[in-house]
Homo-oligomer: A and B are copies of this chain.
Amino acid sequence: MASSESLVFLPLGGAGEIGMNLNLYGYGPPEKRQWIMVDLGVMFGDERTPGVDVIMPDPEFIFEQRENLLGLILTHAHEDHMGAVPYLWPELRCPIFATPFTSALLQAKVSEFDEIDGLPITEIPLKGHLKLGPFDIEFITLTHSIPEPNALAIRTPAGTLLHTGDWKIDPDPLIGQQTDSEQLTKIGDEGVLAIVCDSTNVFTPGRAGSEGDVRDNLMEVIQELKGRVVVTAFASNVARLQTIAQVAEKTDRHVALVGRSMFRMVGAARSAGYLDNIPPFIDAADAGYLPPDKVLYLCTGSQGEPRAALSRIASGTHPHVVLEEGDTVLFSSRVIPGNEKSIFALQNSLVELGVQVMTEKDHAIHVSGHPCRDELTQMYQWVKPQIAVPVHGELRHLVEHEALAQSLQVPETVVAPNGSMVEFSDGKARIVEEVPSGKLHLDGSVILDSMGPTLKERRQISFAGYVHITCAINKKGNLLAEPRVHFRGIPDSEEGDLAYEVGEITEEVILGNRMNRRGDLSLEERVRRAVRQYISGQTGKKPVTVVDVIQV
């Protein structure tokens, strides 16, 4: 293969952190490559990004050549794989390809955005094919924690790539078919140039476990319970929702959905033909009239999100669901790193109500959706790739995954963090270019570059507080009124002693009674320094300080 017709892989999200996946595959001469995009996801903000709910990969690289972008293919419907579509698709305006459930969920999601008047989504059937320019793409059914997870076998003139997306090997997934090992083996026998593979659980030995086992364990636990039962689970785990509905039926309980995303997910699942084998749900408002042992609430909020249903139930502010001693809440979910404190606080609130709390730690009522080491090993045995490219992980996961692939005798491995363009050539992989990559923050309705000053300014104030001083002086430099001192987030006595002293210092500086150690500083800067130094001496903190001296 001439390098003028090279095949490249370029992650812009998901290779270096877990979340916000954006993968590009390109083929053709560098100056006129054609591209496909696989997934376009988000991650969620945390304490480092106060006020930011959603973080997205910066698509600038592909935005600048969007005329060469043949389409966006979604492997599955999790937020970290398609959540950025409503925000970034308007800039790209490319065709979108997805299987029915993913398509239904994306359309339900986008319908909440006024700016988008429908998306050009083409539905691809499970195990379907798609041809986009030089890319011949086959959807391969896998198992995961959401319906319709797909690997993509991307056949190109330069060889076949297998993009796994998110997966595990679930022998009893409850919804959908088993991992299509036959097709994976077949593609492996044909010859796979490179696998681009999920690294999430590479540190975990063994296997992730099956939804079938969760069903058995939930049955065993719930049939012993007497009071109200609440199960909180990730709404997108439709197999889990089905399990819970079936367990409720067998234990003679009616299921009420609680939380908006439960309704959205159930709607999308039904429109794609799932969940048709369970009894109808009842209204949470009606469930309150039933005897406690006839009710099961299926509920959002397993991560302790303050506005989600379970937190409102725990704080006694939910309009329809009231829990009391004798009731049980099951967390059929995992603890997403970073959410520990919120989740434990939620569990403490429930315990305070006298409610029994059960989690995956004490009962086997959850399994991961990602492949553990034995499953990764199995995948490599099926596919027998020439090259392994770990994605979907922090750097430590990617490096561990690389070591695992090497231990399985994969001839070539490459760790390519976001922005690293990997060229596949002569059975080798090498990083040929670093392109701009980064994060965008959705701040309210504004999309911010993560390197900009906005969040830094907010964090600064959150650590040290803010002082604003306003003075009016006349042309002679005399104060026309007492300086106004505003404190935010700065400790002061009830009488405002510190603010009063800051006002005094301001007057002194303006009246020239304070030494001006640097003659070339503006009056505002002199006030600012004097005030900041004084507050620092009194409180041990240097607040953000702004001074307005208005001369009239």
Contact = CB atoms under 8 A, between A and B. Distances in A.
Interface string A31-51: 000000000000000111011
A541 interface: yes
A486 B546 contact: yes
Q: What is the copy number of this chain in the assembly?
A: 2
A466 B488 contact: yes
A221 interface: no
Given A448-B491, A454-B491, A462 B465 contact: no
Nearest to A399: B351
A337 B203 CA distance: 19
Interface in A203-236: 203
A468 B547 CA distance: 11
Interface stretch (A83-91, A404-412, A439-447): A439-447
Given A337-B341, A488-B544, A491-B454, A466 B461 contact: yes
The CB with the most chain B CB atoms within 10 A, among A50, A481, A539, is that of A50
Contacts of A340: 337-338, 340
Interface in A335-352: 337-338, 340-341, 344, 347-348, 351-352
A457 interface: yes
A396 B337 contact: no
B203 A446 contact: no
A394 interface: yes
A540 interface: yes
A470 interface: yes
Task: Give the 5 A-B residue pairs with the shortest CB-CB distance, closest first.
Answer: A444-B540, A47-B47, A445-B540, A458-B489, A462-B462
A426 interface: no
B454 A489 contact: yes
Residue of A337, A362, A444, A452 with most partner-chain B CB within 10 A: A444
Interface residues of A, number: 60
A484 interface: yes
B51 A462 contact: yes
A520 to B, nearest CB: 22
A488 B472 contact: no
A308 B551 CA distance: 47
Nearest to A466: B466
Given A47-B47, A445-B541, 20 more contacts: A46-B341, A50-B459, A51-B463, A51-B465, A337-B344, A340-B340, A344-B394, A344-B396, A348-B395, A351-B399, A443-B540, A444-B464, A444-B541, A446-B540, A454-B465, A454-B490, A468-B548, A488-B546, A550-B550, A552-B552
Contacts of A322: none
A455 interface: yes
A361 interface: yes
A480 interface: yes
Contacts of A352: 395
A357 interface: yes
Contacts of A446: 491, 538-541
Nearest to A486: B546
